[in-house]
Every structure is written in C-alpha cells, then in structure tokens.
C-alpha cells in the first residue's frame, strides 16, 4: 500500500511539473542579426576601423624603421667588425621587440575600444528583447545566432518585433 501512495505522489508531482513547464513560452532571436542591423552598430564599426587604422599608421612607422635598419645591416655587414655586427644585431632585435610589443598593445586597445563602443548597443538590444519578450509573454528567449537552435517555429522569432520596437527596418 505504501508503494502505491509513493507512486501516486510521484505521478501527480510529475503532472504538475509538466503542466508548469508547458506554461513557459520559449522564443528565439538572432541577436547578432539584430545588433548588426542597428544603425549604432554600423557607426561603431566605422569608428573602430578608424581607430585601428590610426594605430596601424603608427605601427607602420616602426616597421619602416626596422626595415631600414635591416637593409643597412645587410648592405654594410661585410665591412663591419664583429663588435659592430653585434651592436647592430641587438638594435635590430630591439626594434623587432618594440614592433611586437606595439602590436600587442594595439590589439588590446582595439579590443577595449570595441567593448567600449558596443556595450551600450548590446545593452539597448538586450533591453528591447526583454521588453518584447515580456509584452508577448515569453518566459525564455534563446539566442539562435550561435547556430545551436535546431528546430524553431517562425512564429516564436522575436527579431521582427524587436526590430520594430527599435525602429529598424
């Protein structure tokens, strides 16, 4: 008798949990497509490219200096003393290290600038997604931009509704 009570309890509990899960609506959105269609994202991309090009210009100067030193070393190596070759070799290595350090720093600066420019855009998109999900009664929204959503009904795609909320065509 005790077994039947436990089985009945488990069955009833299972029914209630399935019923509760069925009430949670799930939608999906391609967040990358949303952010990519926002005018602010296009401006941020242009600003980021301009910033990266300015850093690249400074790096080009360093590469030109390095190339000049290497060419000078190659041209005059035959007439240099061993001591002079060693000094020039160290200068070339130092220039090469400065270039590598600059590239690493420039890459970090570009990543920081990208985060700085995109954070308000991502925040705005997230807020719009949350607002639309709330308006339409969705408990969960899955980002389909990662390509992990295997099957999804088009009726549950929030992208058109969120774009409309943000005024994007």
pTM, rounded to two decimals: 0.67
Provide the pLDDT for residue 18. Answer: 47
| DSSP H or E stretch at residue 142 | strand 140-143
Q: Residue 138 in contact with residue 27, Cβ under 8 Å?
A: yes
Distance CA 2, CA 7 (A): 9
| Averaged pLDDT for residues 43-57 | 92
What SS3 state is found at 144? helix
∠ CA 121-145-138, rounded to 5°: 80
Mean pLDDT of the chain: 83
Which of 3-7, 34-38, 90-94, 141-145 comes out lowest in average pLDDT?
3-7
Residue 114: other Cβ atoms inside 10 A: 16
What SS3 state is found at 93? helix
> What confidence category does residue 4 fall into, taking pLDDT thresholds of 50, 70 and 90?
very low
Residue 70 scores a pLDDT above 50? yes
∠ CA 139-151-165, rounded to 5°: 45
Residue 38 scores a pLDDT above 70? yes
> Tokens 């009833």 identify what position?
12
> What confidence category does residue 152 fall into, taking pLDDT thresholds of 50, 70 and 90?
low
Provide the pLDDT for residue 58. Answer: 86
Residue 103 scores a pLDDT above 60? yes
């Amino acid at each position: 008798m005790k077994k039947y009570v436990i089985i009945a309890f488990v069955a009833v509990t299972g029914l209630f949990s399935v019923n509760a899960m069925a009430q949670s609506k799930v939608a999906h959105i391609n967040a990358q497509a949303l952010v990519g269609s926002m005018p602010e994202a296009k401006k941020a991309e242009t600003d980021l490219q301009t910033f990266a090009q300015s850093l690249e210009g400074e790096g080009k100067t360093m590469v030109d200096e390095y190339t000049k030193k290497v060419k000078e070393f190659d041209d005059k190596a035959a007439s240099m003393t061993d001591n002079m070759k060693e000094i020039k070799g160290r200068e070339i290595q130092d220039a090469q290290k400065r270039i590598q350090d600059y590239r690493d720093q420039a890459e970090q600066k570009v990543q920081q600038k990208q985060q700085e420019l995109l954070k308000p855009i991502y925040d705005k998109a997230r807020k719009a997604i949350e607002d639309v999900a709330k308006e339409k009664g969705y408990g969960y929204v899955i980002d389909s931009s990662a390509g992990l959503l295997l099957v999804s009904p088009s009726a549950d795609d929030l992208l058109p509704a969120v774009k409309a909320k943000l005024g994007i065509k």
